[in-house]
Structure 1
Amino acid sequence: MLKTVPQVVMQAQKSLNCITADEALTLCKKMNGIIIDVRESIEYAHKSASNTMNIPRGILEMKMLELYPNSEKAIFIHCASGVRAILSTEQLKRFGYKNVWSITCTLEDICQVL
């Protein structure tokens, strides 16, 4: 049986670290982590939070292995609504990253905090 995107996201959330933008900022500073916006480059150019870097979801795995080969690196993922962040966080965990969090609030909330 096929699943809808909301069903897949809801199922994935159960096994992931999901946090707010406020929590992510505090933890990222404490752990010397990185905050990655997984939206497309054109979306990022239009509006983005400061102190973030853009690695679109479509190339995330290849870029992460190249830029951050340390599986212990603290990584905080966000997008505009949380869906791509959840899917990206799940994928990075599959690749072996141990400290990955999904920021599950809206882009507006993220831009106000970061």
Structure 2
Amino acid sequence: MKKFYASVAMAVVIAFGGYNAQAGTPVSKRKMEIAKQHIQQVSVQEAANMKGAIFVDVRSLPEYKAGHVPGAVWAPRGLLDFKALKWFPDKTKTYIVYCKTGGRGSISTYDMVQLGYKAYNLKGGFLAWKKAGEPIEKGAPKGMGKGVK
């Protein structure tokens, strides 16, 4: 039976051209396409120079703990659209949203923009921030997903 399922899995991979799980599903790809049409992205340099901006990390908790933008608020993507108004009550502030490479960040930025926030997506995500040699913090978030008061 295991051989049967392995064969089916291999056939699916071959039929769909070597689908990459990291690239997302057709639904997530479509969400990213829509989001990117309605949001603004900022480069690492632009983000680092935006005085007073609040960085919002929408990655998983293990990703956040392993390294994040100093002072970034942990607001997991799966809860952001449910909790944004509570976590980020001040819509006059500027928010820079990021994930690992930009996909989840784009979708989350779009959610925040739809809710009336001045939000930007960090182009290239945390990996771009790290590659640019910008400072990084490690450890658990203060407040565990409670946002900014």
Into which bin does the TM-score normalised by the smaller protein fall?
0.7 to 0.9
Verify: 1:110 aligned to 2:129, yes or no: yes
Show structure 1 runs of 4+ deviating over 4 A.
none
The total of aligned residue pairs comes to 108
Task: Provide the aligned C-alpha RMSD in A.
Answer: 1.8
Q: CA deviation digits over 1:34-87, x for unaligned, max 9?
A: 001100111111222323221111122344312321222100000001001000
Cα contact 1:37–1:79 (8 A) shared by 2: yes
Please tell me whether the aligned partners of residues 109 and 119 of structure 2 are also in contact (alpha carbons under 8 angstroms): yes
Partner of 1:61: 81
Pairs within 5 Å for 1:24-63 = 24-27=47-50, 29=51, 32-63=52-83
1-structure distance, mates of 2:58, 2:107 = 10
Greater relative contact order (Cα 8 A, min sep 6): structure 1 or 2?
A: 1
Distance (whole Å) between structure 2 residues aligned to residue 106 and residue 72 of structure 1: 23
- Asked if structure 2 preserves the Cα contact closer than 8 Å seen for 1:22 and 1:113, the reply is no
Three-state SS of the structure 2 residue aligned to 1:88 is helix
> What residue in structure 2 maps to residue 15 of structure 1?
38
**Where does structure 2 lack aligned partners over 5 or more consecutive residues?**
1-25, 136-149
2-structure distance, mates of 1:91, 1:84 = 11
The whole-number CA distance in structure 2 between the counterparts of 1:7 and 1:108 is: 22
* Paired residue type of 1:113: E
What secondary structure sits across from 1:35 in the alignment? strand
1:78 paired with 2:118, answer: no
- Does the aligned pair in 1 maintain the 2:55–2:69 contact within 8 Å? no
> What is the 5 A alignment of 1:82-97?
82-97=102-117
Distance 2:30 2:115 in 1: 22
TM-score, reference length from structure 1: 0.81
Q: Using the aligned pairs only, state the percent identity.
A: 23
Bigger Cα Rg: 2
